[in-house]
Structure 1
Amino acid sequence: MMNNVLLVAKREIRQILAMKSFWLTLLILPVALALGPIFTSTLDDDEPSRVVMVDRSGGDVAAAIKARFMADDDRATLRRLSRYVQRYDLEEADPQAVWTQHDRWYTDADIATFRASGGVDSALEKIAAVKPDGVPEFEDDNPRYTFMPATSQLQGLQGEEFGQAAQALFDSDADDAPEMVVLIGENYPENPEIGLFSANQPNPVFVSGLQETLTGDLRTRLLASRGITGAEAAAIQSAVPAIAVSTPPPGGGAREALLVRSIVPLALAYILMMSLMLTGSWMLQGSVEERSNKLLESLLACIRPEELMYGKLLGGLAVGLLMILVWGGCAGIAAYATQGVISDLIRPALEPVSSPGIILAILYFFIAGYILISAMFVAIGAMVDSMSEAQGYLMPVILGLLLPITFLIQAILAGKDSMLIDLLTWIPLWTPFAVLARLGLGIETWVMIAAGALLAVAILVEMIFIGRLFRASLLTTGQKPTLKRVLERFRAQPQ
């Protein structure tokens, strides 16, 4: 019997491997992993927005606006540099530097100190002296805005003429065409109305920063008009509290750690689902072709129906595992070849699935899930005479599988150990997906063992009834598989 099963399995494997759709599906992930970084770098628009400042009040206001956004850029650089130093334990580069002080909100004084010490270039020189091999380089972002001098087209224009000239600049094909124009009138601050002309919907961050800067300037001038000196007014306006920010290290937050730990378990559940859908459809297609080409009569003259069914299941399982191995290998190579944050996630992401017991459990639920669900595809293939008829039975099965799994993944990403997760763990049809997905959240050993035992019993019962249905349906061509006939075939005893 085993020789016949293996013979059918080899034939099933060769039949699936001969399909062009198999190779296209197998190679789509490696191609996506290879082309993904290329498209990401191509589509990533990190160029700063170009802003033209027209300050007819004397120039001090434009200078204040530029200083504000330069300070915001330096603050963001300090924050990224601090997280980089914290991630790779590089504080020894300069323990007194502001970029090694993590638990704080960087003030204007910190930014001034950072600039006076040489800025990011000086910091990177110190870091390079202590940085171990294998630590990726710090990648600094471009400034969000670049400020350009007023063009000759805008000089001396007022009202609608100024707006039309600004729009003409926006419509220009020049590489340095501005995206925003800010007009500060010559009667400022008596007339505090500021003109903002934009080629597109202006960024709310820019508008709020502009408004805060102008508000501070107006209040400083108002205080000065009440007898307070300019220096005192500026000191009053710049007075801010020192905020101590206590945050976990990169990857150490509860929410972040949960997501990192769930990456591989959720990927395992998703890959199991995808490979099952694909191999199941290929097995179904092969079964329908055998019925339409009258090959089943020749096969059944040589082997028993049970041997044919087990061989198909074994062949589909082998193809599915081959796909998973190829996809997993490509993903692992891509992850280890990538430097930076992605590579840092590999170790904590693999932690939930690194022990020998968990690896054995993963293999068990993978194989059990394949057998449980592939048998349903094989049964459908034995009952129908065409692919169009098969689609009518296949769609409810796929929807019944996918919808609960979608809700399961969403619940786990939300970090909730909900009733849905517990319920799906104990329903054999979704047990493999639920157990694999729960590895990141943490699942009790007894739950895993009990759910695995229940799944084994369900597979045993399924093989009995699916075997009866398969045997009774093989040669019944031209008969629609109504509910009554299906129930009769379930009760049919092997002869």
Structure 2
Amino acid sequence: MLQHILLVAAREFRQIAMTRSFWFTLLILPAAFAFGPVFSRFLDKSDTETVMLVDQSGGTAGAALRQRILLDEQRATLDALARYVRRHDLQKAAPTALWAQPERWFSDADVARFAADGGAERARAAIARISREDAEGFKAPEPGYRIVEAPAAVARAAPDAIDTALEPVLRPGDKAQARPVDYVVLVPRDFGASPAVRLWANGVPRASFVAKLQTVLTQELRARYLAANGLSPQAAAAAGTIAPAIRVTTPPEGSGRERVVIRSILPLACAYILMMSLVLSGSWMLQGTVEERSNKLLETVLACVSPNELMYGKLVGTVAIGLSMIVTWAACGAFAAYATHGTIAELIRPALAPVSSPGSVAAILYFFTAGYVMVSMLFLVIGAMSDSMRDAQGYLTPVILVIMMPFTLLVQAVLRGAGGIGVEVLTWIPLYTPFTVLARLGSGIPTWEVLGSGVTLAAFIVLEVWLLGRVFRASLLAGGGRRSLGQIASLMRRADA
């Protein structure tokens, strides 16, 4: 019997593996890993916005704005560098450097010191002494703003002529090669006596930019007010910069809300890949079974093997096809995480750590395989009951909708870190158990639920194969139209089916 099952399984595997759609599906994920970073360089649009500062009030306000923009850009670089160094354990490259310190919030003084010490380029040089590959792997974040110099005509323009002078800067025209400036900030000559400041924007300005502008100019106004009321310019400037020294404690990387997202990436990806690969491999098996029925090949096959051997062989062959796809995709993902550098590697590598324990790996393998057997059995019976693909679609569409319907809600609940009664209920419904348990492995699921739902799923699969096996055997050579639910239930109750 086992030999016949393996022969049918090998035939089913070979039949599906010879199709072009199988190879296209198998290679689409490796192609995405290989060409995704290349294509992103051509498709990504820069989010850097250009800022033109026009200070007609003496220069101090414009200088303060320039310093604030540059400091914030350096802070983003320093923060990204510190996270990169902790992720790759590179602190020994310069133990006393700011970017080698434990998780912290970097103050303006810290950022100014980082920039004075050479910034990211100096850090790369230090890292290169212990790992040139890691030094080249760090990419500084794209700056949010880039300051451009104001043309002389704009800097000297009178208040009633400034709009005309800015026209070619904000709207250079279709034939011009220059990119339009995103923001123009004008600090007028009477700033201090009047709080009025003008801002031109190409579109709706970022709220963060307006807040930055307001904070810096408020400090400048206060300093000028104090100086006008008898305080020395130095004391007035110092008073304008007085601010509380807030010491911020942040959770380590991979903790807090970030922990939920990072830990959920791989489990959610497993649940999604399980669903997609089930639909694909199940549809291939379904199409093959329908073609065998329509071409009268089943009679020839059943002359050599029993209906049970045919059923188990097709089931094993389909599961083997699905698992071969998963193994290929997992190998490509591991290669992208550990043998390459770049955005994809930085995303996958931390996501693998939380689910790398033996228990998590065993749970993923078990629920993956069990989910495949459970849903493949449904596809197998649909193929046995259908005389054509049109008949099969009538059964298949509601089945796929029932399986996929809760998936979107499940993903949203897991990413929010919310359990809730809905997720608990889905865990114990065998049709949804594989997807729900896989999705919950990252955010946390009690061990007793994993074991209990696993046993329940195994019992359900045994019952499913027993009952649907009767429907499969009774439908192999039967003709006629689509069966009703009552007829299918009747076949399940027939012990001689």
- In the other structure, the counterpart of 1:144 is 144
SS of the residue corresponding to residue 204 of structure 2 reads coil
Aligned to 1:241: 244
CA deviations 1:368-407 (Å, max 9, x no partner) are 2222111111111122222122222211111111123333
**1:36–1:235: structure 2 CA closer, same or farther, 3 Å change rule?**
same
Could you report, residue by residue, the CA deviation over 1:50-82 in whole angstroms, capped at 9, with x for unpaired residues? 323333333333222212212222233333333
In structure 2, how many angstroms separate the alpha carbons of the residues matched to 1:358 and 1:57?
64
Equivalents in 1 of 2:298, 2:121: separation in Å?
74
Aligned twin of 2:217: 214
- Which range moves more in the overlay, 382-391 or 258-267? 258-267
Gapped runs of 5+ residues in structure 1?
none
Checking the alignment, whether the CA contact within 8 Å between 1:288 and 1:384 is kept in structure 2 is yes
| 2:418 corresponds to 1:383 | no
Three-state SS of the structure 2 residue aligned to 1:169 is coil
- Alpha-carbon offset, residue 97 of structure 1: 4.5
Q: Which moved more, 1:76-85 or 1:326-335?
A: 76-85
| Aligned mates of 1:447, 1:47 — CA distance in 2 | 45
Question: Which residue of structure 2 lines up, in the alignment, with residue 300 of structure 1?
Answer: 302
| Residue of structure 2 in register with 1:13 after alignment | 13
Structure 2 SS opposite 1:394:
helix
Q: What is the number of equivalent residue pairs in this alignment?
A: 493
| Post-superposition offset of 1:96 | 4.9
Kept after mapping to 1: 8 A contact 2:37/2:343 = no
Please say if 1:70 is aligned against 2:73.
no
Question: Can you list the C-alpha shifts for 1:259-313, whole angstroms capped at 9, x where unaligned?
Answer: 3333333332222222111111111111221222222233333333222222211
Partner of 1:259: 261
Q: Alignment partner for residue 422 of structure 1, among 421, 424, 428?
A: 424
Q: Which secondary structure does the structure 1 equivalent of 2:50 belong to?
A: strand
AA partner of residue 75 (structure 1): R
Say if 1:170 and 1:179, in contact at 8 Å, map to a contact too: no
Q: Which secondary structure does the structure 1 equivalent of 2:172 belong to?
A: helix
CA distance in 1, matches of 2:278, 2:485: 25
Normalization by structure 2: what TM-score?
Answer: 0.88
Could you tell me which residue of structure 2 aligns to residue 156 of structure 1? 157
Instruction: Write the deviation string for residues 422-466 of structure 1: whole angstroms up to 9, x where unpaired.
Output: 322322222222333333344444443333332222222212221
In the alignment, structure 2 segments of 5+ residues that lack a partner are none
Q: Which moved more, 1:414-423 or 1:336-345?
A: 336-345
Q: TM-score, normalised by structure 1?
A: 0.89
Cα 1:101/1:419, change in 2 over 3 Å: same
Pick one of 469, 472, 477 that aligns with 1:470: 472
Quote how far apart the aligned CAs of 1:115 are: 4.0
SS of equivalent to 2:200 = strand
* Residues in 1 aligned to 2:116 and 2:163: alpha-carbon distance in whole angstroms: 44
2:229 aligned to which of 215, 226, 230: 226
Percent identity over the alignment is 49
Cα 1:444–1:250 change in 2 (3 A) is closer
Letter in 2 for 1:477: G
Bigger mean CA deviation after superposition, 368-377 or 407-416: 407-416
In structure 1, the partner of 2:404 is 402
**One-letter amino acid of the counterpart of residue 298, structure 1:** T
Tell me the amino acid that sits aligned with residue 24 of structure 2. L
Whole-Å separation in 2 of the counterparts to 1:83 and 1:358 = 26
- The answer to whether the 8 A contact 1:352-1:439 is kept is no
Distance 2:324 2:221 in 1: 69
Paired residues of 2:125 and 2:135 also in contact (CA < 8 A): no
Alignment of 1:281-360 (within 5 A): 281-339=283-341, 343=345, 349-351=351-353, 353-356=355-358, 358-360=360-362
| Structure 1 residue 92: Cα displacement | 5.2
1:25 aligns with 2:25: yes
1:355 CA drift (Å): 4.7
Cα pair 2:192 2:225 within 8 Å, conserved:
no
Residues 385, 476 of structure 2: 8 Å contact kept: yes
Greater shift in the superposed pair: 177-186 or 120-129: 120-129
Partners of 1:250 and 1:342 lie apart in 2 by 18
Return the offset for 1:365. 2.8
**Residue by residue, what CA displacement relative to the aligned partner does 1:302-339 show, whole Å, maximum 9, x if unpaired?**
33322222221111111111111111111111111233
Name which of structure 1's ranges 188-197 and 389-398 shifts more when overlaid on structure 2.
188-197
How far, CA to CA, are the matches of 1:90 and 1:4 in structure 2? 57
In the superposition, relative to structure 1, how do residues 403 and 140 fare at CA in structure 2: closer, same or farther (>3 Å)?
Answer: same
Q: Aligned partners of 2:119 and 2:11: how far apart in 1? A: 67
Contact preservation (8 Å) 1:98, 1:114 = yes
Classify 1:230/1:105 alpha carbon distance in 2 versus 1 (closer, same or farther; 3 Å): farther
1:91-145: CA deviation from partner (whole Å, max 9, x where unpaired): 555555444455654334334433444444444444444x457644443335433
Q: Which residue of the other structure, out of 199, 205, 208, is the alignment partner of 2:208?
A: 205
Residue in structure 2 matched with residue 185 of structure 1 by the alignment: 188
